[in-house]
Amino acid sequence: MEKELLKDFLSWYGEEQITTEHGLNNPYHMENILLTHTLLVYDNMRRYLDKYSSKHSDNEVKILLLASLLHDIGKPYTREVKDGKVTFPNHHFLSSLRALDFAKNYIKEPEDLLKLAVVIFYHTVAHGSLKLLEHLPNDIQRLSAVLGFADKKGRLVNHDVVKSISFPKIKKRKVTTDKKLILLHGPTMGGKTAYAKKLKQELNGYLLSMDIAKQQAKQQKLNKEELFNKMKEEAKNHDIIIVDMSNLTLVSRYNFITLYPNRHTELHMLFRSYNDIKKKLLKIKDSTYVGDPITYLSTILRPSVTPTSEEAYDKVRLILTEYNDQDNVLTIL
């Protein structure tokens, strides 16, 4: 499998890996091109599995090999040069979505595809304290730790310049009621609205959505922002609030948590393959969409802040969705 996997990977992504300059004044990555780093990480993973494959199921071995090759495939589309230094802001998010398209050739179980996406999504967090991953299922924590190790070992690093990475922290909340706040998190065209409507029916919750506000404002000839603010106030009267927004930034998530205090807070994270996002984007023709799909998506993901255990959610759910002329949920962890 390994020879076929590497051959397919280079066939799919070889050119962009070779042409993406990687180490321009970047103390975290002094390798000249992206492909050099990717192959170093892949080699580290193979060496690890040569010794410790018995600690993993066959499916986990497959996830780790794929993750080592695919963890940075979002970099060519997030590359920026600022003050003479190359960076790849939030490449992990785009990588996790693009990886699903390639991985479908090797992984058939939706649950394992979802695990792969989450492991890649969190690979930069895994470089720091593994405590930041404690909100995730145990098996995903383990796999993320292994990928993080292989990734760190696959670098040429200037240790005199590199600093530790810190993540924002939200203080643990004391809750004295049974009321609940559910925040959705995911990319545009990721299936959040269909999933939110399903949750609303199952839980009899209040659905807070800017899309709904836009529709009603247009019908009633009202200001959408004023109407959305009224909806936010109305939501306080309900035991269960479902926020159907991308919630990619910490500010967005924190604003809803502070607006609705004394509630058990859940974060539901949705993942979807890039090709499915592209398919829906081209069909729906969102009014904000300009340019080519991958540039548009990477721009939207640019300001996102990765949720960690420091945000102290009472529960985190992981959801894999697909788009096949309609939005479907494939699996939930």
- Is 157's pLDDT higher than 80? no
Q: Give the total residue count for the chain.
A: 333
The Cα diameter of the chain in Å comes to: 66
Its domain, for residue 269, covers 180-332
Cα separation, 290 vs 71, whole angstroms: 27
pLDDT mean over 154-164 = 46
| CATH number for the domain that contains residue 33 | 1.10.3210
- Is 217's pLDDT higher than 80? no
Looking at 113, 137, 153, the residue that finishes a domain is 153
Report the pLDDT value the prediction gives residue 130, as an integer from 0 to 100.
83
Query: Do 214 and 314 share a domain, yes or no?
Result: yes
Query: Do 188 and 47 share a domain, yes or no?
Result: no
Query: Do 198 and 319 share a domain, yes or no?
Result: yes
Query: Do 289 and 185 share a domain, yes or no?
Result: yes
pLDDT mean over 99-128 = 94
Report the pLDDT value the prediction gives residue 29, as an integer from 0 to 100.
55
| % of residues, the chain, pLDDT over 70 | 89
| Cα 137–chain centre separation | 15
| CATH number for the domain that contains residue 299 | 3.40.50.300
Q: Quote the DSSP letter at residue 238.
A: S
Looking at 136, 153, 170, the residue that finishes a domain is 153
Query: Do 251 and 126 share a domain, yes or no?
Result: no
Report the pLDDT value the prediction gives residue 27, as an integer from 0 to 100.
55
| Burial readout 46-64 (b: 16 or more C-beta within 10 A, e: otherwise) | bebbeeeeeebeeebbbbb
Report the pLDDT value the prediction gives residue 53, as an integer from 0 to 100.
92
Query: Do 35 and 145 share a domain, yes or no?
Result: yes
Would you say 308 and 132 are in contact if contact means Cβ atoms under 8 Å apart?
A: yes
- Is 296's pLDDT higher than 70? yes
Residue 169 counted as domain residue: no
Domain count across the chain = 2
Q: Quote the DSSP letter at residue 33.
A: B
Report the pLDDT value the prediction gives residue 194, as an integer from 0 to 100.
94
Query: Do 269 and 225 share a domain, yes or no?
Result: yes
212/273: higher pLDDT: 273
Pairing of strands 327-332, 264-271: unpaired
- Is 221's pLDDT higher than 80? no
Who contacts 67 (Cβ-Cβ below 8 Å, separation ≥6)? 45, 99, 116, 119, 120, 123, 143, 147
Who contacts 77 (Cβ-Cβ below 8 Å, separation ≥6)? 94, 294, 295, 298
Confidence of residue 161 (pLDDT cuts 50, 70, 90): very low
Pairing of strands 240-244, 315-323: unpaired
Q: Look over the chain and give the mean of its residue pLDDT values, rounded to a whole number.
A: 87
Query: Do 118 and 253 share a domain, yes or no?
Result: no
